[in-house]
Amino acid sequence: MTNLATPHDVAVYIGRFQVFHHAQLALLRRALQAAPQCVVVMGSALQARSPRNPFTWEERAQMIRLALPEADRARLKFLPVRDYYDQARWVTAVREGVGQLFPGQHSVVLVGHLKDATSTYLRDFPGWALDDAGSQGDIHASSLRDAYFGAAQDGSLDAALSALVSQAPGSTLQFLRAWSHLPAYSQLAHEWESLRREKALWAGSPYPPVFVTVDAVIQCGQQVLLIERGRSPGKGLYAVPGGFIEPRETAWQSALRELDEETGLRLLDTDIQAAFKAVQVFDHPDRSQRGRVITHAHWFDLGSRRPPEVRAGDDAAAVRWVPIAELAAMEDQFHDDHFHMLDFFFGLTDPSRSRR
């Protein structure tokens, strides 16, 4: 119900909404009560589909609309924001996006729940009032996704959705039932199962595993070398060549080995040393579907020479040189955070940040 006597002009509610459930609906209703206009910030926008991010931001917006009466739908604006894996850039993008939707001076209230380390971002918006609404129920979208994709293995989708009645709006469950007929459902269910089996191997570990990987960002002129992944997770998506570090190798040695195994690219030591530009660690806790994976990305610039011949091998189904100018339009075709790794080196979303 609209409350025109509210002290704020705009309410902002931030989430990923993968899947939209009752606790999120409760927070959204609180936001709608806090101001006459509400901006729903759709996190993890513009990413490739994955078991963690199965739905596009447009599909998630539709889930939200379906759960509300028509009068409340008219008061919503949706703001898709990519995962920059850089808190300061992400906060700036949210602020600027809200400012573009509502230019000028407005009183803004940010509605959410400070539950753990994943929600401390709510404190990063000085000048906006914070309404910490507290817990709205012990419901986790990850558990809903597990039930949804797990049901594909034994054909028990109807039973799984029926069991979720107490956790998600009926409109969400109807959406999930309809969405299950799309090819993406079976594809992601297969990837979900592959990840589940992989994580089960570490179930007996006394501590959550932390993996160390390496990547090779190979630039040649205005092109960069990409592979198409041949295995789950991320089968069919683009990535830079890379993989797990070997126990008796340095990060440098592993990066060059993975480059050779996946692309067939092998240069003289003097040439690769001359081409080396920088190494950057990417360690955001959510950067990989596998869990906690820290990678060391080595950037090499081969100069304006003709790109060397390459061939796909090992985990790569295909390999090719891609113009850097084309990468921005391919954002939703990349595995995990590999687009953002390239963004770091080449300034794809902000040319002023390019390290070229």
The CA distance from 298 to 181, in Å, is: 41
Q: What is the mean pLDDT of the chain?
A: 94
Mean pLDDT for 93-105 is 96
- At 102, is the secondary structure helix, strand, or coil? coil
Mean pLDDT for 153-158 is 91
User: Over pLDDT 90: what percentage of the chain?
Assistant: 90
Confidence band, pLDDT 50/70/90 cuts, at residue 352: confident
Tokens describing residue 332:
């939703």
Mean pLDDT for 224-239 is 95
Confidence band, pLDDT 50/70/90 cuts, at residue 36: very high
Tokens describing residue 152:
């594909």
Cis-peptide, bond into residue 351, ω within 30° of zero: no
The residue with tokens 């969405």 is 179
| Residue 80, pLDDT above cutoff 80 | yes
Cis-peptide, bond into residue 307, ω within 30° of zero: no
The CA distance from 233 to 350, in Å, is: 28
**For residue range 2-30, what is the model confidence (pLDDT) as tens digits?**
444 578 999 999 999 999 999 999 999 99
Cα dist from 48 to 40, 73, 214, 324, whole Å: 21, 27, 21, 19
**Whole-number pLDDT of residue 5:** 56
Q: What domains, with CATH codes, occur in the chain? A: 10-183 (3.40.50.620), 210-353 (3.90.79.10)
- At 119, is the secondary structure helix, strand, or coil? helix
The CA distance from 334 to 208, in Å, is: 26
Mean pLDDT for 291-315 is 95
